[in-house]
Structure 1
Amino acid sequence: MKKQLLSGLIVLVIFFGCATPKKQDAASMVERIPEVEALLKQMTLEEKVGQMAQLTLDALTVGANHFHTEEPMRLDMDLVRRAIVDYNLGSVLNTASTRARTVEEWHTIVSQIQDVAMNETRLGIPVIYGIDAIHGVTYTAGATFFPQQIGQAATFNPELVRRAAEITAYETRASSLPWNFSPVLDIGRDPRFPRMWETFGEDVYLTKVLGVAMVEGYEGDDIGSPYRVASCPKHFLGYSTPLSGKDRTPALIPEIELRERHIPPFKAAIEAGAHTIMLNSGLINGVPVHASYELITELLKEELGFTGLVVTDWADIDNLHNRDRVASSPKEAVKLAINAGVDMSMIPYTLDFCDYLIELVEEGEVPMSRIDDAVRRILNTKFKLGLFETPVTHYEDYPLFGSDEFIAEAIKTAQESMTLLKNEENILPLSNNSRVLVAGPNANSMRALNGGWSYTWQGSNADEFHEGYSTILDAIRDKIGSANVIFREGVRYDNNAAYWVDEAFDIQGAVRAARNVDYIILALGENSYCEKPGDLHDLTLSRNQIDLAKALAETGKPIILVLNQGRPRIIREIEPLVSGIINAYLPGNYGGIAVADVIFGDYNPNGKLPFTYPMYVNTLVTYDHKPSEHQERMAGMYDYESDFAIQFPFGFGLSYTSFEYSNLSVSSDVLRPNGSINISVDVKNTGDRQGQEVVQLYTSTHFASITPDVRRLRRFEKIALEPGETKTVSFSIAPEDISFINAQNKRVTEPGAFDVLIDDLKATVNYTE
């Protein structure tokens, strides 16, 4: 086992051999808060180790049995006291039975836990409670749900993302919960990945900007505020690009790629003040991240300067033994993870972790200095959150919870996420006196609109909480009147099977109903899913849904396709058959309203794709690919399929108005070290209605010491223009903005020419040292 571990570590030493040299020991960088230091001096080994343990709520309830708590849910106080009094438990997470609770229930749960922690233990250290509130407070009934991250990314609007996070923080604290396992800063570069919808898409810069906005929205200037929470960017590092495309499977990522694509969003979040970080559950180049000293301590804590709390993902220390087999026993798994730099273990069910870790310290296998460093980070976080003074907040102090003000923000975010991908002969918007057939398995489902992490882990019970919300069908009926709407699913999801399985329910019934309408609104896509259950073998839209679309197309009635999905499913067969396409992503509880507003023209769509929409399952190429990935076919010689065949490009999205770009100007055609250049462009609304446009600035390097990407997004700004109005949009870029990771794994800016690209305009600039 020691030889096996050694060879794994040698791989990572080579892997990070060219990393920036560490400047100081990770533990010495952590802030010394006098109150925390005084507490540390009083703590026994057992009390310290207990702070490093995190149990799921299901382990503390009556009838506790891995996701199956007895209802009505109530704490088993004997289990609570055993965990907190006997084992000095430091943290609790999750909800019971993965089910949403009311703010009143949350207040009771957290109050009972904190009462034991504060009043029945020797030192009275509060518990820190964590939750996955990833698009609103996932597990609180009545909370304001926003679009999932991929939809928020489509807005290209950092202010909307920041505001959504502020509201989520407010409502999370209203639920007595101070710690949010969000944002996801994994890069969504593989549409096969079942958690792609939890990301901000494929681009590094967009993820950095929106990730920082979300961290700032959650944390504000002071996480001790009763309206703010500690954020937890995840999953450090490289989680979203496994070789197979399936969740928690191995990734092969060279250091040049890690440093170019995966590290920058986390680095930006750390610089923005993120207080905690969650680790990647998977393996990179054969080494589990949870056992990697090089990734957790040398890279994250020392090189990137992260001084906060590092928490595992679900059961991932156990996985070092049970799944990944780098540890010969559960006890050795604890040793590897803690010595690698893990501060808190999301256990999540038993307290064996504490027994093992105490033994390891007593045996000299884990140094006491490592324990003190971990506990200092944990206690610092609790202290900064104000938990020692206010361990529980009260829902009555949060009058805006679920308010009209918050709902308006959620509606606005859902509207701005709507991405119009096709509008043949300007078929959209439709008239309000149109007669329509609404069809498809996503037409009448709140579950599909919300996706996973919605009331339950898999989102499977979202329809139980649907009262007061509108499905796509409901919203269309409200918009044009029930008399003008016929509903036939044609295909429906089998909720007792895998999460994306559907069945041909009544395709011919839908076809017959189409005879009496002017248009067909066809809502297709995916049912809700989350994490591993969302793995699939084929990215193509299901055969039943394709058959439904083809059958309806044969009626000759124009079809508006609404895609309600977490990842871009292949629609190549049916795209030519439809006149309009709206990508709605997973827009949340107000997504039905947003879809109807766009279809009938009450809202002018302005969302942009945060990923490249693939055309084929074997052509999954991002916009920032290398030139060799875009080779045209050679007519008369070869007919190879190596061209850049995509359905829709990154950053694409139509409007009901039109925009004209002109007068691209650069302040200098030379960029020098420590300097910058200003870039401006005029944008005019040449249509007849107000609209918003995302102005996107890209650069394209001519030549470099490694093959450059064909282009990279460097700046963007969203503007609103009245008909006939022109605005000048200005950007500034510096040498750092055109830098890249070279073959020696160093970030450099090399002399040479690069193009500045906005829309179809181009200017050339030379970087000269």
Structure 2
Amino acid sequence: MAGRSVSAQETDKAIESKVKHLLSQMTLEEKVGQMTQVDFSVIGAPVSGDEYSDGAIDQAKLEDALIKHHVGSILNAPSIPNIKAQPVDTWRKIMRTLQDTTAKTRLKIPVIYGIDAIHGATYTENSVLFPQAINMAATFNPELSFKEGEITAREVRVSGLQWNFSPVMDIGRQPLWPRLWETYGEDVHLATAMGESYIKGHQGNDFSAADKAPTCLKHYVGYSYPLNGKDRTPAWIGERMLREYFLPTFAAGVKAGAPTVMINSAEVDGIPGHANYQYLTTILRGELGFKGFTVSDWEDIKRLYTRDKMAASPKEAVKIAVMAGVDMSMVPFDFSFYDLLVELAKSGEVPLSRINEAVSRILKVKYQAGLFDPKPLPVVEDNFAAPEAIETSRQAARESIVLAKNDRNILPLKKDAKILLTGPTANLLSVLNGGWTITWQGSAENLYPQDKLTVLEALQRKSTGKVTYIGGDSFNAPIDIQKVVDEAKNHDVILLSLGENTYTETPGNIESLNIDQAQVDLANAAIATGKPVVLLTLGGRPRIITSIAMRASGVILAFLPGMEGGEAIADILYGDYNPDGKLPISYPRNTNAITPYDYKPTESFDVNFYTPLYPFGHGLSYTSFETSGLKVAKDKVRMGENISVTVNVKNTGALKGKESVLLYINDVVASVTRPNKQLKAFKKVELNPGQTESLSFTLTPQDLSFIGVDLKRVVEPGDFKVMVGNETVGFTVTK
């Protein structure tokens, strides 16, 4: 990799020598075992039926997996009956048991244990849980993403776990998709900046360090753009769009040093991700230069046979996937992959060279992660749920919340205001966090820590006035609308807390972005009282709120701000924090009005318009900002030169606040139609009232490039526009 130090190169060389030596000693069965990943339930001690006790391992099953089948990786948390977070001590006990059993194997090759720690150490009890990725993108603050990576890696390692299935580098351009909130939004540059920073924080310069861990890029590639919006359904992405929008984030993740990649669970242009040699080998290896290993998603090699009907048998499915470039199979409930691949290798249908290639990649990452010579785990005290880590998460939550509307400065509210709070998301911790929180779907409210605050509890703690709550104990519990109407006269403002229940993956599939009728009825009744209404939304997708938002005095889009989200929302409502979040997606006005901000000319021509309810980058403050003096250093630049851009930003209001200054470009005329604008740089600054700061940006030739007619990246000479705020300046690229 470019820029690596001599010592790093020497370390790589030493590791390659160790891998080669170890590989020479391995039997075929030991090699295939390394390519096999099973769920914890395969080794778990049963309580009754299919249920497994928290953290308890059946030693005979474990030895069957590690000694007889030579399994190289295990994933997931224990279950009663569903996977859920475990105490730190339980995780440490599990990992010690695995290490002790590994010591009994012939070659003592360590297991690499994978977990979905997507917004903190999600499967360790009482870990610091950050806002979800869509919120982190709304901060426009890569430093916070870096810190999230640092804290997550440290708490994962404190737990004894070794490998994080994060970050999601898919681009979130289909708002129906139930994993939209796991992405960094719809823009390539923003997602790249946030993902790179997370990886660097999580891995540091050496992910074998005691407080670091390897990351895994998900879900390579095109998974996030299903045509019908439903999870694990086909995407129709041409190669130009793939290279323009979907590959760059993964290329950035590879360049940032992520050593593993998880594969798209669906299909693109008729080819399932796990069968796509062009994507997995030709592009990922040959073009992006990826040197680590790929891991399948959940049971997806089997699904080439059971679901996709691409393979005529389970054995053929294994052959197709391995030959396409899958190195490790998340089987996950049995050893069928192991058995079938051994047969395929013995028959010569899968060459030993391909198996050696895959195993070498896996072993290399295990050496790089320090698993062969494990360091003592970080002590729990000061490294787990540390006060400064919790405060970082709380600050991320504050910076992620978007103030979308504030008519007549209805916000901030006075501390002694009489507030009527109602709506299904008002008094639940789960709806602040979303999926992958303590449990897979994140919906087990009874498992959430009681010391964390819901929106209601946070308001009650801060208020010096009257806070009345009318709602149910669960998301779907009926709310007494007449009681809301009757109580409204006794209050200054109605805070209407609407949104979604928790979900991820296929359980989150929906038919429409419209919110359910019960919430619409509640909103209509609240607005009809004539009292000022502030709308607060929580959830992972932009559900359609247009009619409500147009009549509300204030609108706050909170999405999934994490475990500290209740307090962060209260801070903003009462003015203890000046909001500075900006939308990382275009918020649609209607359920079928899905147009991203970087739309093409035909999408805003004749009768077509970009008319979201709130555009990408939208976000208000309790102060005001103004940009001015936008300049480029030269009107004409030669091909291959950088372009220097400067702009001034001033706090023109009465309060201290933060502003994200977004720089866009437009290629005026090109051989392939260009977006109206594309984000190419941003900086977040904090300014006192009246303070002005001059910001400098450097645009590179890469920033001016696009995927040309021949599907190669190109910069064409001609005119370009640079846009910041309400200003536009131009420059010309010459040969």
Question: TM-score scaled by structure 1?
Answer: 0.92
Does the alignment pair 1:512 with 2:494? no
Between the aligned partners of 1:72 and 1:653, the Cα distance in structure 2 is: 44
Between the aligned partners of 1:112 and 1:421, the Cα distance in structure 2 is: 51
Tell me the alpha carbon deviations over residues 8-35 of structure 1, each in whole angstroms, 9 at most, x when there is no partner.
xxxxxxxxxxxxxxxxxxxxx9996222
- The CA deviation at 1:730 is 0.7
* Maintained 8 Å contact 2:53/2:78: no
Does the alignment pair 1:594 with 2:560? no
The residue type paired with residue 226 of structure 2 is P
Q: 1:72 to 1:260 in 2, by over 3 A?
A: closer
- The CA deviation at 1:573 is 1.7
- The CA deviation at 1:493 is 2.0
Give the one of 339, 344, 353 matched to 2:337: 353
Q: 1:493 to 1:545 in 2, by over 3 A?
A: same
- The CA deviation at 1:643 is 2.5
Partner residue of 1:91? 73
Give the one of 616, 623, 627 matched to 1:661: 627
The residue type paired with residue 220 of structure 2 is F
Tell me the alpha carbon deviations over residues 467-509 of structure 1, each in whole angstroms, 9 at most, x when there is no partner.
110000000000104x511000279523xxxxxxxx5431222
- The CA deviation at 1:206 is 0.5
Partner residue of 1:268? 252
Does the alignment pair 1:567 with 2:536? no
Alignment: residue pair count = 721
The residue type paired with residue 258 of structure 1 is L
Partner residue of 1:286? 270
The residue type paired with residue 272 of structure 1 is A
* Maintained 8 Å contact 1:550/1:577: no
Q: Secondary structure at the match of 2:623?
A: coil
1:347-496 equivalences under 5 Å are 347-390=331-374, 393-394=376-377, 396=379, 399-481=382-464, 484-489=466-471, 493-494=475-476
Between the aligned partners of 1:729 and 1:294, the Cα distance in structure 2 is: 42
Between the aligned partners of 1:425 and 1:717, the Cα distance in structure 2 is: 29
Between the aligned partners of 1:467 and 1:493, the Cα distance in structure 2 is: 18
Between the aligned partners of 2:495 and 2:649, the Cα distance in structure 1 is: 33
Does the alignment pair 1:701 with 2:685? no
Q: Secondary structure at the match of 2:613?
A: strand
Does the alignment pair 1:105 with 2:87? no
- The CA deviation at 1:699 is 0.6
Between the aligned partners of 1:699 and 1:325, the Cα distance in structure 2 is: 44
1:531-546 equivalences under 5 Å are 531-546=505-520
- The CA deviation at 1:212 is 0.5
Between the aligned partners of 2:215 and 2:273, the Cα distance in structure 1 is: 21
Between the aligned partners of 1:195 and 1:766, the Cα distance in structure 2 is: 40
Between the aligned partners of 1:441 and 1:31, the Cα distance in structure 2 is: 57
- The CA deviation at 1:400 is 2.4
Range with greater deviation from structure 2 (34-43 or 148-157): 34-43
Between the aligned partners of 2:491 and 2:198, the Cα distance in structure 1 is: 44
* Maintained 8 Å contact 1:59/1:65: no
- The CA deviation at 1:307 is 0.4
- The CA deviation at 1:64 is 8.0
Between the aligned partners of 1:115 and 1:54, the Cα distance in structure 2 is: 19
Tell me the alpha carbon deviations over residues 409-436 of structure 1, each in whole angstroms, 9 at most, x when there is no partner.
0000000001100000111101111010
- The CA deviation at 1:698 is 0.3
Partner residue of 2:618? 652
Between the aligned partners of 2:589 and 2:506, the Cα distance in structure 1 is: 24
The residue type paired with residue 452 of structure 2 is Y
Q: 1:72 to 1:204 in 2, by over 3 A?
A: closer
Q: Secondary structure at the match of 2:631?
A: strand
* Maintained 8 Å contact 1:490/1:509: no
Q: 1:30 to 1:525 in 2, by over 3 A?
A: farther
What percent identity do the matched residue pairs reach?
Answer: 46
Between the aligned partners of 1:683 and 1:359, the Cα distance in structure 2 is: 66
1:69-88 equivalences under 5 Å are 69-88=51-70
Give the one of 97, 101, 104 matched to 1:120: 104
Between the aligned partners of 1:182 and 1:73, the Cα distance in structure 2 is: 23
Tell me the alpha carbon deviations over residues 148-172 of structure 1, each in whole angstroms, 9 at most, x when there is no partner.
0000000000000000110000000
* Maintained 8 Å contact 2:19/2:360: yes
Give the one of 196, 199, 202 matched to 2:180: 196
Q: Secondary structure at the match of 1:675?
A: coil
Between the aligned partners of 1:768 and 1:576, the Cα distance in structure 2 is: 47
Between the aligned partners of 1:194 and 1:30, the Cα distance in structure 2 is: 43
Gaps of 5+ in 2: 1-11
Q: 1:336 to 1:308 in 2, by over 3 A?
A: same
1:564-643 equivalences under 5 Å are 564-633=538-607, 642-643=608-609
Q: Secondary structure at the match of 2:301?
A: helix
Q: 1:72 to 1:131 in 2, by over 3 A?
A: closer
Partner residue of 1:714? 680
Partner residue of 2:296? 312
Between the aligned partners of 2:47 and 2:331, the Cα distance in structure 1 is: 15
The residue type paired with residue 104 of structure 1 is D
* Maintained 8 Å contact 1:631/1:644: no
Does the alignment pair 1:727 with 2:693? yes
Q: 1:30 to 1:576 in 2, by over 3 A?
A: farther
Q: 1:72 to 1:165 in 2, by over 3 A?
A: closer
Tell me the alpha carbon deviations over residues 217-270 of structure 1, each in whole angstroms, 9 at most, x when there is no partner.
111000110100000011000000011111000111000000000010110111
Partner residue of 2:320? 336
Give the one of 259, 274, 290 matched to 2:243: 259
Partner residue of 2:521? 547
Between the aligned partners of 1:292 and 1:627, the Cα distance in structure 2 is: 32
Partner residue of 1:763? 729
Tell me the alpha carbon deviations over residues 283-302 of structure 1, each in whole angstroms, 9 at most, x when there is no partner.
11111110111111111011
Between the aligned partners of 1:64 and 1:703, the Cα distance in structure 2 is: 67
The residue type paired with residue 644 of structure 2 is N
Between the aligned partners of 1:281 and 1:719, the Cα distance in structure 2 is: 39
* Maintained 8 Å contact 1:143/1:171: yes
- The CA deviation at 1:644 is 2.0
Between the aligned partners of 2:189 and 2:602, the Cα distance in structure 1 is: 23
Give the one of 321, 327, 330 matched to 2:305: 321
The residue type paired with residue 484 of structure 2 is A
Between the aligned partners of 1:558 and 1:417, the Cα distance in structure 2 is: 25
The residue type paired with residue 137 of structure 1 is A
The residue type paired with residue 694 of structure 2 is T
* Maintained 8 Å contact 2:176/2:229: yes
- The CA deviation at 1:701 is 1.7
Between the aligned partners of 1:306 and 1:607, the Cα distance in structure 2 is: 34
Moved over 4 A (4+): 29-32
- The CA deviation at 1:210 is 0.7
The residue type paired with residue 79 of structure 1 is K
Between the aligned partners of 2:169 and 2:65, the Cα distance in structure 1 is: 32
Tell me the alpha carbon deviations over residues 572-601 of structure 1, each in whole angstroms, 9 at most, x when there is no partner.
121122111111110111000000000000
Q: 1:64 to 1:327 in 2, by over 3 A?
A: farther
Q: 1:72 to 1:339 in 2, by over 3 A?
A: closer
Q: CA RMSD in A?
A: 1.5
* Maintained 8 Å contact 2:230/2:506: yes
Gaps of 5+ in 1: 1-28, 495-502, 634-641
Does the alignment pair 1:59 with 2:33? no
- The CA deviation at 1:463 is 3.8
- The CA deviation at 1:735 is 2.0
Between the aligned partners of 1:181 and 1:721, the Cα distance in structure 2 is: 37
Partner residue of 2:649? 683
Q: Secondary structure at the match of 2:19?
A: helix
The residue type paired with residue 349 of structure 2 is E
The residue type paired with residue 520 of structure 1 is I
Tell me the alpha carbon deviations over residues 306-326 of structure 1, each in whole angstroms, 9 at most, x when there is no partner.
000110111010010000010
